[in-house]
Chains A and B, each alone.
Chain A
Amino acid sequence: SSVLTQPPSVSVAPGKTARITCGGNNIGSKSVHWYQQKPGQAPVLVIYYDSDRPSGIPERFSGSNSGNTATLTISRVEAGDEADYYCQVWDSTSDHYVFGTGTKVTVL
């Protein structure tokens, strides 16, 4: 199965931009989805199919995917963005779904 590697943590000041990477072999050929999970809560989909945003998700959240890296970008970071973020793909070779290792975003 695919292995998706994320940085364990990212720290960012309010109003600045946070970038969370998701590394995987030729991930650019797959559809990548991103989830936000706050403590004690279920995950919430924030970006799907690399760069689409579900209704209700602020435009500050955006995504990109190319080569061996997918990126979730949070612009104008707010205190409420503090959470764990996970990338996810479907691995057609194994017919399994794979989550990234997760990144904790801390707002300074």
Chain B
Amino acid sequence: QVQLVESGGGVVQPGRSLRLSCAASGFTFSSYGMHWVRQAPGKGLEWVAVISFDGSNLSYADSVKGRFTISRDNSKNTLYLQMNSLRAEDTAVYYCAKYFEDDISGPFDSWGQGTLVTVSS
């Protein structure tokens, strides 16, 4: 079955960087687009970024554009989120999620358990 395992979260000072990883298994990773979604403590879900199956198409939420970079290594079945110039408002649980089939308007059909990022001095 599909398994997505995030890692790399932790406490980081404002202005610093952090890289999250999402290890995928149970499906052909190189055939599916992938997302990052975050959830601030006690708040709702916020989409962060998406990458196509081959990494050729990327899109970002306005709140992170220019600071965050989504990437993937299909040889390692791993998704990444490089987060630079972190702010207090980036504090959240970060989830990776899998595309449904090959439809850009499709749902996020599998989710990892999330990794917590806390931005604080």
Residues of B within 8 A of A (CB): 35, 37, 44-47, 50, 59, 61-62, 95, 100, 104-109, 111-114
Contacts and interface: CB of A to CB of B under 8 A. Distances in A.
A96 B47 contact: yes
Q: How large is the interface on A (under 10, 10 to 19, 20 to 34, 35 or more residues)?
A: 20 to 34
Interface of A: 1, 30-31, 33, 35, 37, 41-45, 48-49, 54, 84, 86, 88-90, 92, 95-102
Contacts, number: 60
A96 B59 CA distance: 7
B111 A48 contact: no
A90 B45 contact: no
A44 B105 contact: no
A42 B4 CA distance: 11
A31 B105 contact: yes
A45 B108 contact: yes
Nearest to B61: A96
